[in-house]
Structure 1
Amino acid sequence: MNGKTMFLRLNRGIHVFNHKESGFLWVLMRHKSSGGMRPKRKIYYRVDELDKVMELQKKPSLILKLINIIQSQKHKFIFLRDLEKEVGFVQKWNFMAVIERYSSIFYVDSGSCRRPYVRLTNKAEKIASEEHKVKSSMEPILVKNLRKLLMLSVDCRVPLENIEFIASELGLPCDFKTSLIPEYPEFFSVKEVDGKAHLHLENWDSSLAISAREEGFGRARDVSSCENRKRVRISKDGNFSGPFAFKMCFPPGFRPNMSYLEHLERWQKMDFPSPYLNARRFDAADPKARKRVVAVLHEFLSLTMEKRMRSTQLDAFHREFLLPSKLLLCLLKHQGIFYITNKGARSTVLLKEAYEGSVLSDKCPLLLHFDRFLSLCGRRDKHCNSPQVRF
């Protein structure tokens, strides 16, 4: 085989190989036969635009991290010589390059002390001054999503260390344990379970037990009565307008045959339990329960700010959500719903329907606020709905 050999290790007997020239991945799966173990090749198609999501995030993440470091200082600036203490010797040079390149955001001065320091420009400072108001508007969203996360778990509780592990993906502040949780005793409590601190849900709210998939179906549903609607055969893009269907986004180059589409139509029509029902009530071998697992993963990713999560972060919730042991194989199998990219430092799972090309289609107030910083350096997503910065 050409290209790099190992993409990621899923489970014993399963390997994924990367073919850059052909734009897809070979998934080798071991199947038992009378003659021993034989490999069966399946194609996992790459989507270049979704691979770019992680590449496009590198510079913005450095910019936003440096802004946060500057804003956390008492006098809203940091001496360049002290930058190494904050980010380390190697990363310091990456930040120095960012400071030099984005003069519309960062301003370097030496002042009377003749020691160079970096601060935000007046335009960037004006945007930063509004962050507190933006974070206040985000708080109800964060509380709601945190409650929904606990409702997804089998015991309505999650170890605090797991919440901390995905805090940035959820948009939670780094001090959420002291600044957010104590403010809502009617919703949350922290209790010790098996010697480990867990975040508990205090009250179940049935109005929150509606998944993002169901809300999307409600918005897209035709006003005509389902009883009077003529039967329409599933289209070649795999989408079906039934109440138990998922939105499919097949990768470029994927050409499903009729047998595949017929199987997918049966799967799309098959009803399944809500992801908010306790997973212990269902037999894991039941096809409906397996479809429910897809719904749990879909809902979990929908609760994040950028509708993506590292594979290691998903793995951390195996016990709380009773996820299958071959989790990544489940994700690979449903490549019309999820996408796994190995770009960046770690493999990342993205919810495909949340992206238009490489751009997140629906952004929360905090992401729109971050976009205003990026607009100062001339970077604007063509699908971005963030307002123009006015001064």
Structure 2
Amino acid sequence: MIFSKTIRCNGMLFGPFNAFSQRRWKKPVVSAQTRLETRTKDLKLDKLMAHINKRKTILDIHQLMSQRKRGPFVSVQLMSRWRNIVGLNVGMGAFLHKYPHVFELFEHPFRRNLCCKLTQRMRSLIDEEEKVVKEYEPELVQKVKKLLMMSRNGTLHVHALRLIRRELGLPEDFRDSILSRYAKDFRLVDLEIVELVDRNESLAKAEVEKWREKEYIDKWLSEFETSYAFPINFPTGFKIERGYREKLKNWQRLPYLKPYESKEVLRVRTCGGTERFEKRAVGIIHELLSLTVEKMLEVDRLAHFRKDFAIEVNVRELLLKHPGIFYICTKGSTQTVFLREAYSKGCLAMPNPMYVVRRKMLDLILLGCRNTRSMEDLEEIKEERTVSVFRTDGGGKIDGDWVIPILESYDQNAFRSPRETDDSKQPFDGCESGRIPSVCFKDDSS
């Protein structure tokens, strides 16, 4: 039997069970929040995200306006109730005045209250985006098929797809226009579950694999170096600690189960399975971001794919562990992850047609209150060249639509004649022009 001995020295006890003598050094825990606060920031992507948040707010306001059945305009008094819905920190009126190229404010001719509608340029860009979505419908079908091929059982929840609908470029009614329409590719098992009918092995090639082939051919690298590697692009000012390069080199060579391989998922508890399992999760998130329009996605919405993609790790910690592949931006109310290799100087390196339209929207929004003099000149021309069309019921009373603007759409740099636009042929409500022309009140007898 072993007896422990306690020694008294200067009134203090020292022994094996004394708290003063048995303090053990513990390694500090590095949490995801600590990594997020101490990460190297990418100022260009942060600035881009701040602009994208403005565009999201404007599109949310447009969606609320389109739900109104009374017409293309809404009173500003009613729109002020949407402030908390769209997440504005300023008043609705002040926000609308900041973007005169997007919102057109006018006084209602009868009620005399302030109303708002989208400008012709903003409406044309929204229509252009819808047109691009219809033209590239086959590519959207392939995106959904590739997502289903990455899933564990070939199924996905429709709600998860609905959450990233805009990021993927899917139409608002994608459940009816794509999932139900292409019955040979998809089958709705339940109201909220879609299943892949048949795998297409020609699509089972990740975007990172195309990059590996290019690196292997162009740079004459060995297959051992490029078979499982990812493109690494650290932000400016990133400090590489001692031993980090060697760890990264070993991680790049580590084999893993690729996203479209239909083998049994590697378990975490197997020998060396933790790092290989995490690398597989990196490959799936990398491919998911590659399928989006702007190569970005909200971190919270990735959690809805964890079960279907068999990702049993903390997604945010995984993204922060690989700053050369992903970048988490904290601008706005949510955290957004960017695919670093897809961006160069704050712009998409390889733009697609849908991104081009959204970039035009962003440029129009960023104009702010600049170049508004051309808009005032346009309003003067519209007032001078407005024609009144009377339709009477025999008693001299005005009936139906009675004002037709002959210059509805315009270009910012050059004004087109009335013969060059088709909008002049379409009658419209008198509230559209924002005021009642004085020519409409002339005497009928004359």
* Category of TM-score, reference length = shorter chain: 0.7 to 0.9
Once residues 165 and 209 of structure 2 are traced to their aligned partners in structure 1, the CA distance between those partners, rounded to angstroms, is 25
**Displacement after TM superposition at 1:128 (Å):** 3.8
Residues 133 and 169 in structure 2, CA contact (< 8 A), matched pair in contact too: no
Letter of the 1:255 counterpart: K
Task: Please say which of residues 267-276 and 146-155 is displaced more in the overlay.
Answer: 267-276
Per-residue CA distance 1:174-219 (angstroms, 9 max, x = gap): 3222232212111111113xxx731111110111111111123334
**Displacement after TM superposition at 1:342 (Å):** 2.5
**Displacement after TM superposition at 1:83 (Å):** 2.3
Q: CA RMSD in A?
A: 3.2
Once residues 205 and 102 of structure 2 are traced to their aligned partners in structure 1, the CA distance between those partners, rounded to angstroms, is 41
Hey, what does 1:185 align to over in structure 2? 183
Q: How many percent identity over aligned positions?
A: 28
Hey, what does 2:247 align to over in structure 1? 263
Bigger-Rg structure (1/2):
2
Once residues 196 and 91 of structure 2 are traced to their aligned partners in structure 1, the CA distance between those partners, rounded to angstroms, is 42
Specify the SS of the correspondent of 2:28.
strand
Residues 60 and 86 in structure 2, CA contact (< 8 A), matched pair in contact too: no
**Displacement after TM superposition at 1:117 (Å):** 2.1
**Displacement after TM superposition at 1:158 (Å):** 0.9
Q: 1:56 aligns with which of 41, 51, 55?
A: 51
**Residues 390, 354 of structure 1: alpha-carbon distance in 2 compared, 3 angstrom cutoff:** farther
Q: Gaps (5+ residues) in structure 2?
A: 1-22, 369-410, 415-446
Residues 279 and 321 in structure 1, CA contact (< 8 A), matched pair in contact too: no
Q: Does 1:134 align with 2:121?
A: no
Specify the SS of the correspondent of 2:281.
helix
Residues 138 and 366 in structure 1, CA contact (< 8 A), matched pair in contact too: no
Task: Please say which of residues 143-152 and 105-114 is displaced more in the overlay.
Answer: 105-114
Q: 1:341 aligns with which of 329, 349, 353?
A: 329
Specify the SS of the correspondent of 2:324.
coil
| TM-score for both structures, normalised by structure 2 | 0.66
Once residues 379 and 222 of structure 1 are traced to their aligned partners in structure 2, the CA distance between those partners, rounded to angstroms, is 44
Hey, what does 1:77 align to over in structure 2? 73
Q: Does 1:274 align with 2:274?
A: no
Hey, what does 1:332 align to over in structure 2? 320
**Displacement after TM superposition at 1:318 (Å):** 1.5
Specify the SS of the correspondent of 2:117.
strand
**Residues 299, 270 of structure 1: alpha-carbon distance in 2 compared, 3 angstrom cutoff:** same
**Residues 389, 272 of structure 1: alpha-carbon distance in 2 compared, 3 angstrom cutoff:** farther
Q: 1:117 aligns with which of 106, 115, 118?
A: 115
Residues 62 and 95 in structure 1, CA contact (< 8 A), matched pair in contact too: no
**Displacement after TM superposition at 1:130 (Å):** 3.0
Hey, what does 2:341 align to over in structure 1? 353
Residues 66 and 95 in structure 1, CA contact (< 8 A), matched pair in contact too: no
Per-residue CA distance 1:330-362 (angstroms, 9 max, x = gap): 222212111223321122222111222433333
Once residues 149 and 68 of structure 1 are traced to their aligned partners in structure 2, the CA distance between those partners, rounded to angstroms, is 27
**Residues 263, 123 of structure 1: alpha-carbon distance in 2 compared, 3 angstrom cutoff:** closer
**Residues 115, 221 of structure 1: alpha-carbon distance in 2 compared, 3 angstrom cutoff:** farther
Q: How many residues align?
A: 337
Q: Gaps (5+ residues) in structure 1?
A: 1-33, 233-239, 381-387
**Residues 140, 133 of structure 1: alpha-carbon distance in 2 compared, 3 angstrom cutoff:** same
Residues 154 and 279 in structure 1, CA contact (< 8 A), matched pair in contact too: no
Specify the SS of the correspondent of 2:78.
helix
Specify the SS of the correspondent of 2:226.
coil
| TM-score for both structures, normalised by structure 1 | 0.75
Residues 63 and 98 in structure 1, CA contact (< 8 A), matched pair in contact too: no
Specify the SS of the correspondent of 2:172.
coil
**Residues 67, 327 of structure 1: alpha-carbon distance in 2 compared, 3 angstrom cutoff:** closer
